[in-house]
Amino acid sequence: MVTTLWLKEIKAQVYTWKGTLWLVIASLLFSFSSYLMLTDKELTLLDQTELLWMLSKIIIGAAFLIVAIDASSVLTAEFERETAESLFLSPVTLPAVLLAKWLASLTLWLALFAVAVPYMVVTSAGTRLTFPFLGYILLLGTLGIAGMTLLILGISLLFRSSKNTLTTSLVILLALSAPALFSSTLKSSGVAQAFARANPLDNIFSALDNVLVDYQWSLLQNGRYLWPLLLFSLATLAFLMVAIRVFRRQGLIKHE
């Protein structure tokens, strides 16, 4: 049943203008970024590893934004179209529905990764970084987006509104991206360092810097960045479990 629901969600994403539009937008963004990196006079003066790191941040950032926007509606749309009652009163369990929605969001991430692969291969040509580049983008992106999607599904159960879920998700994503705007002085403070250790985006970018700039390719060498991502996914899974309990206690029709 999970497979059936998952395939239904995939068809809804692939065979609709919205799903295709996301992939087209991502392709245009990656094309424009790669073109600038390979032709702009100032950017071409940078070391190639730094260009790859810049491209990796664009790919991860775009993927987080697109998946967050999409995930904000995969469940709340059921409430707004008034199809939630027939869905949740069917023999399908709530965890099965959420698992199918979660897998659909991860599939969107994999589609975005597939779109980005040619650009990563071209920009990393002539280096030994092609396979580490591809592998770590896939690994780190999957871990981060898996946790982010679990968080958004939990928020969706609590709000049951696409608008409120999307707004909250974008605020959270902005908060996670904020350290990139900090100066080096602010980043050296104790609070900023503590936040960076728990911030999934910060750990992803630090791991990519370690791989692409410092040539630290093994999983053991990047373990200090991978563990926080795993813990982030576990924490968001726990939050989703709490949201499920709240949802069941409130009932299908939420009474304010």
Can you say how many angstroms the Cα of residue 166 is from the centroid of all Cα atoms in its chain? 14
Neighbouring residues of 49: CB distance < 8 A, sequence distance ≥ 6: 127, 129, 212, 213
Residue 67, burial from CB neighbour count under 10 angstroms (0-12, 13-18, 19+) = buried
Indicate the residue type of 165.
Answer: T
Average pLDDT for residues 179-199, to the nearest whole number? 63
Q: What is the value of pTM for the model shown?
A: 0.89
Question: Mean pLDDT across the chain, nearest whole number?
Answer: 85
Residue found by looking up tokens 């392709």 in the block: 27
Confidence of residue 183 (pLDDT cuts 50, 70, 90): very low
Characterise 160 by phi-psi region: left (phi > 0), alpha (psi -120 to 50), beta (else): left
Rounded Cα distance between 44 and 248, Å, is 56
pLDDT tens digits, 134-143: 999 999 999 9
pLDDT at 35: 83
Domain limits, the chain: 2-250
pLDDT exceeds cutoff 60 at 181: no
| Exposure letters 127-143 (e unless 16+ CB within 10 A, then b) | eebbebbbebbbbbbbb
pLDDT tens digits, 11-63: 776 656 666 888 899 999 999 988 887 776 666 656 778 888 889 999 999 99
